[in-house]
Amino acid sequence: MRATAVAHPNVALIKYWGKSDTEKNLPATGSLSVTLGGLHTRTTIEFNEQLKQDQLLLDGKADAAADLRMVRCLDELRQHAGVSLFANVESANDFPTGAGLASSASGFAALTVAGAAALGLSLPPQELVRISRLGSGSAPRSLFAGGVWLDIASSPGETICSTVSEPARWPLEVIVAVTSVEKKAVSSTAGMESSRAASPYFDGWVSSHPQDLADGLSCFTDKDFMRLADLAEHNCLKMHALAMSTRPPLLYWSPATLACMQAVMQLRADGVPVFFTVDAGPQLKAVCLPEASATVRERLQSIPGVLQTLDCTLGQGAWVEPVAKA
C-alpha cells in the first residue's frame, strides 16, 4: 500500500485564471501548457491502518494549508478502492515551492498517480484528470507530456486533458529566471476568485479566451514559433492586466521580472527565437528554440535581481517510480 510518483510542473502559454464552479474546481477557461522536464516533485504515499488521519510532509515540514485539497483527492481514490485507510504523504520539490513555479500542479499530479498506485488502482487517464483537478486546476496538465491541452468546452461540467505535441515533435526549451524564492502572499486560488468577483475585466478575459486557445493549438499544429510568441505574451499580459485590475490588486511581478520581460522582447526584436511568460509569482519563464538557449540564459543571468536560472526541456507526464529490488 505504498508507492512513489514523480511529476514535473508545467507552465501555461494560454492560461487558466478563474473558475466556473468552485465546488468542482472547474476552470472558467481551457489552457495550453508545456510540461517542464528538469524540475521535479517526488511524492511517496503509504496507506496505513495505524494512522488516525491523513498526514502531509511537504519539503520536510508538516503542511496544514494543503490538507483539505489533499484529503479530497485521497477520498476519491479511497472510494475507488473501497478502503478507508488514512495515508502518510511525503512530497518534495527540487525547485522553490509556492512561488509561481506550479508546485501545486506537479504536487497534485504526483499525489494522484502515487495514491492510485499505492491502492493498486488502474484508473482511466481522464479519471486521474478529474481527481487531480479537484486538488488544483493546473494539475491535470502535469499528468501529460510535452504540449498539453486542458479542454473545458467539449464535455460540459468536466475537463479533458491530453498531449497535443510530444516533446520530441517540437523540442522547445524553457529557461526559468528565478527572482525570488519567497512564498507568494496571495495564493492562486484566492487571487483568481477575487479577480472573478472584483475585476471589471473578468468577462473580457473569459470571452476572449477561446480564440487565444484555438490560435495556440494551431501554433502547435504548425510548429509556428513566432506566432506562438506573440500570442503567448499577449495572453500572459492579459492575465496580469486582469490580476492588476482586481480589488485589492494582485501584482505578482518584481522589478527583475519586468527587466527580464523587456530583455526577452529585445532579444526577439534582434532575431532570437524566444518569448516570455509569467505566472502568479515573480519568476519569468523564457520559452525558446534549442539553438537560442545559451544566448537567452546568458542574457537573463546578467539581469540584476535574477538569483538563478533553471533549464528545462519538455518533459514526460507523471509516472510511478519502480520499486527498488531488495
Residues in contact with ligand 2P0 by the rule CB under 6 A? 12, 15-17, 25, 31, 104-105, 136-138, 188-189, 279-280
Q: Which residue, 8 or 299, is less far from ligand 2P0 as judged by CB?
A: 8
Sequence-distant (6+) residues with CB within 8 A of 31 are 12, 14, 15, 16, 138, 141, 149, 150, 213
Residue of minimal Cβ distance to ligand 2P0: 137
Instruction: Report the amino acid identity of residue 250.
Output: L
The total number of residues written for the chain in this structure? 326
Q: Which residue, 31 or 163, is less far from ligand 2P0 as judged by CB?
A: 31
Q: Are 38 and 13 in contact (CB under 8 A)?
A: no
Nearest distance, CB of residue 198 and ligand 2P0, angstroms: 16
Nearest distance, CB of residue 313 and ligand 2P0, angstroms: 19
Q: Which three cell numbers stand for residue 300?
A: 537573463
Q: Which residue, 78 or 184, is less far from ligand 2P0 as judged by CB?
A: 184
Q: Which three cell numbers stand for residue 212?
A: 487565444
Query: How many Cα atoms sit within 13 Å of 199 on the Cβ side?
Result: 25
Nearest distance, CB of residue 3 and ligand 2P0, angstroms: 23
Q: Which residue, 20 or 295, is less far from ligand 2P0 as judged by CB?
A: 20
Cα 59 from Cα 41, distance rounded (Å): 10
Nearest distance, CB of residue 31 and ligand 2P0, angstroms: 5
Q: Which three cell numbers stand for residue 168?
A: 520530441
Nearest distance, CB of residue 101 and ligand 2P0, angstroms: 10
Q: Which residue, 127 or 321, is less far from ligand 2P0 as judged by CB?
A: 127
Q: C-alpha angle with apex 303: 187 to 248, nearest 5 degrees? A: 25
Nearest distance, CB of residue 169 and ligand 2P0, angstroms: 22
Q: Which residue, 17 or 276, is less far from ligand 2P0 as judged by CB?
A: 17
> Dihedral through CA 21, CA 25, CA 28, CA 34, nearest 10?
-170
Cα 137 from Cα 19, distance rounded (Å): 9
